Amino acid sequence: MTSDLLASLAQILQSPPETADDMRQLVDRFAGFLNLDLPEVGAFHAAVPIADGLTADVIEPRGSGPHPVLVYLHGGGWICGNPTSHRKLASRFAEAGYLVINVDYRLAPEHPFPAPFEDCMEAVRWAAREAQRWNGDASRLAVGGDSAGANLSAAVAAALADDPARPRAALLIYGVFDMATVSIEASPPAAPDGLLQVLGPKMVELMLSAYLGSERGDLVRDPRVSPLHAAHRLPPCHLVVGGADPLMNQSEDLANALAKARIAHEHFVDDFMPHGYAQLEMLPPARLAIERMIAFLGKHL
């Protein structure tokens, strides 16, 4: 499988994806590799209905519970990714004792903002109502995700701050938190190429345009899009990003805003790690990062 992975990476370098469909095919190609050696869990329920057109994979931990609950929102630039592409990462939390709701929210460009955000809001509220079906304890509910999923997680957590379904903690894995300052041009000095660098500015702009439109205007300051502007409404947060990730400053800016608002948080930068590394368990920092996330959840749930 490693040789297949290297061959696929070489192909990407020669011909980077240019459309949402290209990205979806790329994610599907890598899903098998990312899901090798799945963790042992109690039970797996695929595509459980939440609402019309909205489902989630429900992953039960072993044991009788009641289990704390994690609503997981996958990454993929709002245009690709799905619960299958992130099954192993989500299952790591189930392995650690969390009932995981791995949400299959709608994707742009077919479903631009606010559809993905609204799906994720609905999924958290649904989890709060229905978690007991799988021995989940909704009073100990967190939300988390990577990349676009971290953006959605922070936006949803802030929007639900006054809701009975409000999350008690948020995992924010190399996310985008201020759309007005997203750039992959200012990469960390001497950083090795990572996924976002390979995709290039053209694909990053395609993702943003698919989700928000080409004329974004004041929308980039909407806290549902740029949750940095609602940092004071967030629950305790765990932020993690790679030192070779062009989005490193996004996490730093949110961490500074959380500190200013006196919101409990942790902020880790894993040296030399590229965007997406939490799913690449052949890289030693990946499992260490996941273990830190689990420890954080244990403190706040």
User: Is 300 a known active-site residue?
Assistant: no
Closest CA to 208 of 77, 299, 298, 38: 77
Q: How many CB atoms lie within 10 A of CB 105?
A: 29
Catalytic residue among 57, 146, 245, 270: 245
Q: Is 225 helix (H, G, I), strand (E, B) or coil?
A: coil
Q: Which residues contact 110 (CB under 8 A, 6 or more apart)?
A: none
Tell me how far apart the alpha carbons of residues 227 and 179 are, in angstroms, rounded to a whole number.
Answer: 9
Catalytic, 265? Answer: no
> CA-CA distance, 113 to 6, in Å (whole number)?
35
Amino acid at 131: A
> What is the signed CA dihedral for 158, 23, 246, 299, rounded to 10 degrees?
40
For the range 125-134, what are the long-range contacts, defined as Cβ-Cβ under 8 Å and sequence gap of 24 or more?
Answer: 125/160, 125/163, 125/165, 126/50, 126/51, 126/101, 127/69, 127/71, 127/101, 127/165, 128/164, 128/165, 129/165, 131/69, 131/99, 131/101, 132/66, 134/43, 134/45, 134/58, 134/60, 134/65, 134/67, 134/99
According to DSSP, the residues that pair with 172 across neighbouring strands are 145, 239
Q: Are 113 and 225 in contact (CB under 8 A)?
A: yes
CA separation for the pair 118, 140 (Å, rounded): 22
3-state secondary structure of 25: helix
Please tell me which residue in 91, 147, 187, 251 is annotated as part of the active site: 147
Q: Is 275 a catalytic residue?
A: yes
3-state secondary structure labels for all residues of 124-143? HHHHHHHHHHHCEEEEEEEE
Could you give the residue numbers annotated as active site? 147, 245, 275
